Structure 1
């Protein structure tokens, strides 16, 4: 009798604080915030959204930076209320 096969989850899909444990793309950010991807590019251009960085010609976002951005925005909204 053989042991049952263990199904292992893809480690890239593991969530950390509700965010994927991988660098995020502009499409990921757009989907998360339910905005058009062009809005994400405008945020980057105006430096108003979560901070991103370039890897070659590609823009990526660190999930920890995105989490910090969301926390900061929540705090600013609560302070304004």
Structure 2
């Protein structure tokens, strides 16, 4: 049986985030940036806040949504 195609992660961000914790790969896909950029954001504390579950990095969809809203408001306020 063929595997269904992966959903467009950026469309997922616009249409509502999944009801699960997100991985760094999910974040990279949603924002259209390389995975290394996601890790740099974490090191510099400039991207959406993440947390560790054991050795795994995860992101709460609510935190990602809040981060996007904050960035959008900051850009609109500067215009």
The TM tier, using the shorter chain, reads 0.7 to 0.9
Runs (5+) with no aligned partner, structure 1: 1-14
Q: Which runs of 4+ in 1 moved over 3 A?
A: none
Normalised by the length of structure 1, the TM-score is 0.79
Normalised by the length of structure 2, the TM-score is 0.81
Give 2:60's match in structure 1, choosing from 42, 56, 62.
Answer: 62
Counting helix residues as a fraction of each chain, which structure ranks higher?
A: 2
Larger Rg: 1
**For this pair of structures, how many residues does the alignment match?**
66
Counting strand residues as a fraction of each chain, which structure ranks higher?
A: 1
Structure with bigger RCO (C-alpha 8 Å, 6+ apart) = 2
State how far apart, in whole Å, the 2-side matches of 1:75 and 1:54 are.
28
